[in-house]
Each structure stands twice: as structure tokens, then as C-alpha cells.
Structure 1
């Protein structure tokens, strides 16, 4: 499968480009970037062609069977709708968009064009966690769950390139790590039927969710936590006792390779993957509903 990459920033450089270039079933058909120098450097590093500008997007779509995305969500959504209309399968990043209208536009474009789609929620594809999620979904009987995703992206002395991301700074943990939490909770407990949200310190957000299974879950999300508070936890409690997300679930490169496999399989068989753009739309709906209940971000 010829897969083009839309995006040439840190995430594309660290994960998407190397994973696509190394995948035995993929030809990396090109790299498009909003910054020509970044697109040139990333394309050269992986022996492919760089594209820039609006004409470059069209040329890359023409040269590709599918496209992967490593751009901010509100840049991603209209590009994904355009790619679907051009007949390209979609390997999207999370969240697919930050408005329901934009996410729905992508989902409808993919449906009209009959293209496959996968949304890269890391834990759904990582070797150490994907199987565990499937096992908990099959077990059933869960009474409640809690999820916690705390990062210290903006703490003094940290050096993450993602700290310079304007959309992360604006939207906070709810939108950056919230999709990760929902990508674990929804397959196990069912769709979210009700959400209650409250603001914590800094960008921290607390969610209380009800699910179609009848179970409830609580979620705590933040990118601007103290370094000593950092951690990721998911725990389910029910008839069979308690189970927790395994530690060291797998690297992003391996997980992205598995997401590529899932896209290729969905395109070949015509069977939608559970973590497709329609799932991405449902996640966006939950996050928009939560955001509407929150006040402004306050300092920690």
C-alpha cells in the first residue's frame, strides 16, 4: 500500500515516518509539511519525496492509496475529508477533530467514498495493552472503572518538543490524553451515555461517565501536573475482581505499525475496524460535551 504522510513535525519524525518507512507492506509515497524545510528533511531521511503547499497535497493524494496524519486536529479534519474524497484510506491521529461538525464531516466523507479508516489511539494497538483491552471487553461484568492520565509537559526543566504545540496548550489534557482514556474505557464498558465534567488545578479535568453496560467510570486528565504526580493508570472492578492496565504496554513505533496493519486489513476486507473514524467521532462528541461544562483553565 502506498501511504503518504501529512505532517512533518516531532510526532511524524519520531513515529509515523519511521514506522511507515520500515513497514514491509508499505511504500512511503511522500511527506507533506506546512514548513518546506521540515518536509524536505523528513522526506530525505526516509528516501521519499517532499510536498508542500495546497498543490502538494493534491499531488501526494494522487500518488497514494492511503494517507497518515501527524498534524493538529483542526488541520487534520478538513485534510482527511479531502483525502477520503480523493479515494484515499485514512490513518488518523487522535483526536480526529475538536468539533463535532468537523469530525462528522470526515466520517461522512469516508462513508461516501467507501474508504477504510483507523484512528491511532496508542493503547488500542500496542502489543502489551491491545490484548488486555480485548480480554476485559470479553469478560464483562464490570461495575466501575477509573482512568488517570497525568503528564508534566510544561513543568520547569522538561524538554518535550510537544510543549511547543499551540493546540495542546489551548485544549489541555482533556483533548490530548482524553482520547487515550476513552479508547480503553469504551470498548470495555460500552458507549458513553452521560458525562459530568469539572475543572481541577491547572489544566486538570475530572470526568464522571455512565456507559451503556450500566457501569460508571471516573477519569482524571492533565498535561500540566507536577513532575511527581505523573502517571497513567486504568483499573476495572467488577464481578471477577480488579484488573489494571499492564505497565510498559509497548513502544509507539510498534503500535503504529500495528495500526498500519489494521488499516491494510480493513481496506482489503471491507470490514470496519472498531477504532475507526466513526469511533473518533463518538470520542469527539464526549469531549465536546465535557468541555461545554468546564470553566476557564486556572493556574496550578
Structure 2
């Protein structure tokens, strides 16, 4: 499968390009970026073509991987799907429900596969744990803390990201926490949100359709020594905690690419497809509305 990369930022350079160039089932065919000089530099590092026109890249490939801000990703994903390209997208899918629905609709209409890179879902230990707990049932409550130090650690390459500055932890690390909780506890019937704590720290409480509740604490403003992720479930089977990932983002994205290849080959949607990512976006958008309105 010939695949192109849309995006040239830190995440594209550190994760996407190495994973795509090293994947035995992919031909890394080219890169497009909003800054042509950055696209040229990244292309030179991997011996591929830098495209000045995104339409020309879409015409030359079978799939695209996207490492761009959510609003840009959503618009380009629709365009790529309509060009017949399979989609390897980043989280969040889109910054609004309407844009997310547009991506899902375009992918379904074009019959292309989609995989969204919720990093935890492509790490073997955590993914096996999620699958196991989803089969157990009888959960009473869940608790997630996803604390980043993007805005407090010196020299963090993502600290100046405009969309992270605007959207904060809710939209950056919130998708990670929800990608773990929703497959186990089910879709939420109600969402409550509050902005208590330093910086962009927010708290969500979800009432899940299966009867369980969950709480999420999300931040990109945690002290570096306090940063980290934790998910705990309590129910009839006892107490269990999400295992720590033992591998980095590049092997995880390699598995996401495997998933895209399988979905494209078989026509069977992956659990982390655009439709699932849309459900995550709906939760985030509901929480954002509550936060902006001051409703508790």
C-alpha cells in the first residue's frame, strides 16, 4: 500500500515518518506540509518526494497518515476519503461533532478504511487488558487520571501548539482516557464537567449506559514529577488497573498501520475506526459545552 504523510511537525517527524518508512507492508511515497521547507527537509531524511500540492499527493497514494491539528485533519480527511484514500488519523478526530460526522460520512460513502491512532489501544499489554475487562462485565465504577506536563516541562515540543493552547487537556489527553473507558463501560448517557485546578485541568463524570459511572481528571499542566496515566476499574470481579505500556509511540503506530492494512483488505472495520472516534468527539464536545456555559 502506497501511503503519504500529511504534516511535518514534531509528532510527524518523531513518530509518523519513522513508523511509515520502516513498515514492511507500506511504501512511504511522499509528504505534504503547510510549510514547504519543512516538507522538503522531512522528505530528504526519508528519501521520499515532498509534494507542494496536497491533491497531487492524494492522487498518487492508496492511503494517508495525518499528523496535523484536528480542524485541519478533519477537512483533509474528508478530501482524502473522497479521493479514495484509506485513513490513518490522529486523535481527536475533529474539533466539532459536525466535522467528525463529515469524516465518517465521507469514509463510508467512499468505502475506505479508517483507523484513529489512540496510542494506548495499539500497545499490546493495555489493549489485551481492555479486551479482557470488556468481557468481564459487572463493573461498578471506573476512574482515570491522564496528567501531562506539556505546559510545565521545559522545552516540550508541543507546548506552543496553538490547538493545544486553545483546547487543552480535554481534547488532547481526554481521547486517550475515553478510548480505554468506553469499550469497557459502554457509551455514556450523561456527561458532567468542571474546570477545577491549575491551568487547563478539567474533571468529567460519565453515567454509562450499562449502569456504571466513571470519573476522569485531565491536565497538561501537571508538575513533571506528577505526570502519568492511570485507569482503575472496580466491580463485582474486584479491582483492576490498566497495565503500563512498555513500548513507545513508533511501535504503536506501526500496529495501527497493520490495523489499517487489515481493515482495507478485509472490509471489516477496526474498533478504533472513525465511527468510534466520533463517539469520543461527541463526549468531548458535550463536556466543552458544559465548561463554556459554566454548568456543573
Smaller-chain TM-score bracket: over 0.9
Match of 2:250 among 245, 249, 253: 253
Q: Is the 8 A contact 1:153 1:223 kept in 2?
A: yes
CA-to-aligned-CA distance 1:180-212 (integer Å, 9 cap, x gap): 000000011111111000001211110000112
3-state SS in 2 of match to 1:292: helix
Residue equivalent to 1:220 = 217
Residue equivalent to 1:36 = 36
Q: Is the 8 A contact 2:120 2:245 kept in 1?
A: no
CA-to-aligned-CA distance 1:33-57 (integer Å, 9 cap, x gap): 11111111111111110012xxx11
CA drift at 1:295: 4.1
Aligned pair count reads: 293
3-state SS in 2 of match to 1:164: coil
The unaligned stretches of length 5 or more in structure 2 are: none
Residue equivalent to 1:168 = 164
Residue equivalent to 1:277 = 274
Tell me the C-alpha RMSD between the 2 structures: 1.3
3-state SS in 2 of match to 1:115: coil
3-state SS in 2 of match to 1:29: strand
CA drift at 1:230: 1.5
CA drift at 1:166: 0.5
3-state SS in 2 of match to 1:71: coil
CA drift at 1:274: 1.0
CA-to-aligned-CA distance 1:133-176 (integer Å, 9 cap, x gap): 11111112111100001111111x51110111010011000000
Match of 2:63 among 62, 66, 84: 66
Moved over 3 A (4+): none
Mapping for residues 1-300 of structure 1, pairs under 5 Å: 1-52=1-52, 56-155=53-152, 158-201=154-197, 202-295=199-292
CA drift at 1:226: 2.3
CA-to-aligned-CA distance 1:269-295 (integer Å, 9 cap, x gap): 000111100111111111000001114
